[in-house]
A and B are shown apart, each in its own frame.
Chain A
Amino acid sequence: MKESFRQSMAWLHTWTGLMFGWLLFAMFVTGTAAYFQQEISRWMRPELAATADPVSATQAAMTYLRTREPDAESWFITPPSARDPVTEVFWQPKKEEGQPPTRRKRGETSATLDGHGHPVTVRETRGGYFLYRFHFDLHYMPVMWARYLVGAAAMFMLVAIVSGIITHKKIFADFFMLRFGKGQRSWLDAHNVTAVFALPFYLMITYTGLVTLATQYMPWGVMANYASTDTFFEEVFSGRADVPRSGVAAPLVPVSSLMVMASRSWGGAGIGFVKVANPGDSTATITITRAADTVIAARSESMVFAGPTGTLLDRHVPEGGALATQSVMVGLHAGRYAGWGLRWLYFLSGFGGTIMVGSGLVLWTVKRRAKLPDPAHSHFGFRLVERLNVAAIAGLPAGLAAYFLANRLLPIAMDNRAEWEINSLFFIWAGVLLWACLRPQRRAWVESLSFAAALFAAVPIVNALTVSRNMLTGLVTGDWLFVAFDMAMVTVASALAWSAHKAARAKPNATRGTRQKNKELTTA
């Protein structure tokens, strides 16, 4: 076969893009939402309001842990911050002699505390954190397999980006080229414009995404040099191996003075994390890690203190060029360092990526529909792509809205409530997939998009009926989180409704019109 280089790249772009397109769409949606995971979590736990002082809250959390789990192997405390009003604690329970480690449920080894160290009574939810985890761990499947799948998708994405750049020969000449009402041409324009405008972001996010899980995807370097991956992580990231308890009891020094000291030595940076190993024992150590919001690098510095005396034992600064590079790449990907302005830029770029992937998926069908011998009886592969496009582009947003609605509507005391919120998401998503398979594809688009729009529009209403914080009260009291969340829901609902309207108005069977209808669908 004689093909030019560019033609072969176009082929590669088409098929690598399609192969994992739906998964990539889901990763873009949840990953983009995860830039606001703390805010989503706060919205999903409306009972929590004020933020406590991190230092006294940590001290109070230590008191709580001392009463509750004095014999634990270690305690982990995440102090409250500007974006997260509560103290999250979890612990590694004492290992029973000769017993295999038993798997515990999430609630049995963790707690959410207020500033005074009392467990808060909030609805059980995984909040924005679930969206963040779904972005790379997916759900209902073993985490390791999910990560291989996600890694393969990211690798295909990288191939699709590079081959896409080669295929799109007129990046600069066509930079501002967006023609409406021209069917396939319009779809291609929309795909190109969304791809080119944030191209540096897509390259960065895809490459650094692969780097975050590089030790899983390419474990051979670690395997060749370390006895096990655990030794590697210990050496590289914590610098201290676990020490067995001596059995001699010794009280811990107050953690507050250590936190103040650590913060001062980091130029006033906040405290991200406190770990206490062997609490109450003479071998106890307190590790204080710098908050991630002050530096780009994801691996923060930490200081290790002796538990009973408070003497500084160790300063752990990630060392070496390779580690620093990896750390900055992971930091760039997760964007934990980003302030409000930059966070919105991340969000917008991620949203652009969602549209880029969505328009690419639709373009695949638009391009082929024109060439079908009989559009009414297309072959199986074509119909499959059509249906999956509806399910991904309209179904996942619908599921997301259902996740928010379930948070407000499920009974507060329900067993496994958090898990049922998540089930609601997938239930609705699967429902849209089923609907898309049963209905004619044009109707499927219109109905699924309208359904998703209705669900998003319902979120502010249901919120106003079930909890006391909403857009109106927020405007009065300055509760901007609830104002912004409601506005975001209304915006997404309008965009989806507009897409449904566009899809409905398109003329059936007019070759140009049929394709044109889908143009704005990807704003979903």
Chain B
Amino acid sequence: MIHILAICAAILGFGCLCAAMARHQKELLGRTLPSPVQQRFRTAGSTLLLVALVIDMTGLGTAYGTIAWFGHLTIGAMMTLATLKWKTA
């Protein structure tokens, strides 16, 4: 359960970070964003990745949770990239 929660937070986090990148906005959102909104996406993305870490550390223990977090980040980035490729396909 903790794994799924943390993976969701990681996907959302990387999704926001991806949306904050000018070169991917058109593909992911279908439009470009003004720079203050981009900045907000970037902050939200980083925060969500930290939220994933907090979920992992509280749910799985500090050490174990930190290790799992790296794996969850990998899946989060993978799923975001898959969404991006799916949107453009």
- Give A contacts to B, CB under 8 Å: 173, 175-176, 178, 180, 193, 196-198, 200-201, 296, 332, 337, 341-342, 345-346, 348-349, 352
Q: Are A342 and B68 in contact (CB under 8 A)?
A: yes
**Contact among A332, A342, A345 for B74, CB-based, below 8 A:** A345
B-side contacts of A352, CB under 8 Å: 74
Q: How far is the CA of A178 from the CA of B67 in the complex (A)?
A: 27
Q: Which chain B residues numbered 39 to 89 have a C-beta less than 8 Å away from chain A?
A: 63-64, 67-68, 70-72, 74-75, 77-78, 80-81, 84-85
Nearest neighbor of A177 in chain B, beta-carbon distance = B23
A-side contacts of B77, CB under 8 Å: 175-176, 196-197
- Give B contacts to A, CB under 8 Å: 2-3, 17-18, 21, 24, 63-64, 67-68, 70-72, 74-75, 77-78, 80-81, 84-85
B-side contacts of A197, CB under 8 Å: 74, 77-78, 81
Minimum CB–CB distance from A197 to chain B (whole Å) comes to 5
Q: How far is the CA of A341 from the CA of B85 in the complex (A)?
A: 26
Nearest neighbor of A204 in chain B, beta-carbon distance = B70
Minimum CB–CB distance from B11 to chain A (whole Å) comes to 13
Q: Are A348 and B81 in contact (CB under 8 A)?
A: no
Minimum CB–CB distance from B58 to chain A (whole Å) comes to 15
The B interface is mostly helix, strand or loop, or mixed, namely helix
Q: Are B68 and A341 in contact (CB under 8 A)?
A: yes
Minimum CB–CB distance from A196 to chain B (whole Å) comes to 8
**Contact among B18, B21, B71, B85 for A345, CB-based, below 8 A:** B71
Nearest neighbor of B3 in chain A, beta-carbon distance = A341
**Contact among A178, A196, A198 for B85, CB-based, below 8 A:** A178
A-side contacts of B81, CB under 8 Å: 176, 178, 193, 197
Q: If A175-B77, A178-B85, A296-B63 touch, does A345 touch B24 (CB 8 Å cutoff)?
A: no
B-side contacts of A201, CB under 8 Å: 70-71, 74
8 examples of A-B residue contacts, CB within 8 angstroms: A175-B17, A176-B77, A200-B70, A201-B70, A201-B74, A342-B71, A345-B74, A348-B75
B-side contacts of A176, CB under 8 Å: 18, 21, 24, 77, 80-81, 84
Q: Are A348 and B74 in contact (CB under 8 A)?
A: yes
Of the listed residues B71, B72, B78, the one surrounded by the most CB atoms of chain A closer than 10 A to its CB is B71
Minimum CB–CB distance from A448 to chain B (whole Å) comes to 27
Minimum CB–CB distance from B6 to chain A (whole Å) comes to 10
Q: Are B67 and A332 in contact (CB under 8 A)?
A: yes
Q: If A176-B81, A178-B81 touch, does A348 touch B21 (CB 8 Å cutoff)?
A: no
For the A-B complex with A176-B18, A200-B70, A296-B63 known, give 7 more contacts whose Cβ atoms are closer than 8 Å: A176-B80, A197-B81, A201-B70, A341-B2, A342-B71, A349-B74, A352-B74
Q: How far is the CA of A375 from the CA of B63 in the complex (A)?
A: 53
Nearest neighbor of B71 in chain A, beta-carbon distance = A345
Nearest neighbor of B17 in chain A, beta-carbon distance = A175
A-side contacts of B63, CB under 8 Å: 296
A-side contacts of B3, CB under 8 Å: 341
**Contact among B17, B64, B80, B85 for A342, CB-based, below 8 A:** B64
Nearest neighbor of A200 in chain B, beta-carbon distance = B70
Q: How far is the CA of A176 from the CA of B87 in the complex (A)?
A: 13
Of the listed residues B21, B74, B77, B80, the one surrounded by the most CB atoms of chain A closer than 10 A to its CB is B74
Minimum CB–CB distance from A242 to chain B (whole Å) comes to 35
Nearest neighbor of B21 in chain A, beta-carbon distance = A176
B-side contacts of A175, CB under 8 Å: 17-18, 21, 77
The 6 closest A-B pairs by CB, nearest first: A345-B71, A341-B3, A198-B74, A197-B77, A200-B70, A197-B74
Q: Are A296 and B74 in contact (CB under 8 A)?
A: no
Q: How far is the CA of A181 from the CA of B37 in the complex (A)?
A: 32
Q: If A296-B63, A296-B64, A342-B64 touch, does A349 touch B71 (CB 8 Å cutoff)?
A: yes
Of the listed residues B63, B67, B70, B81, the one surrounded by the most CB atoms of chain A closer than 10 A to its CB is B67
A-side contacts of B71, CB under 8 Å: 201, 342, 345-346, 348-349
Q: How far is the CA of A296 from the CA of B68 in the complex (A)?
A: 12
Minimum CB–CB distance from A269 to chain B (whole Å) comes to 15
B-side contacts of A180, CB under 8 Å: 85
A-side contacts of B80, CB under 8 Å: 176
Q: How far is the CA of A346 from the CA of B64 in the complex (A)?
A: 13
B-side contacts of A173, CB under 8 Å: 21
Q: How far is the CA of A342 from the CA of B71 in the complex (A)?
A: 8
A-side contacts of B2, CB under 8 Å: 341
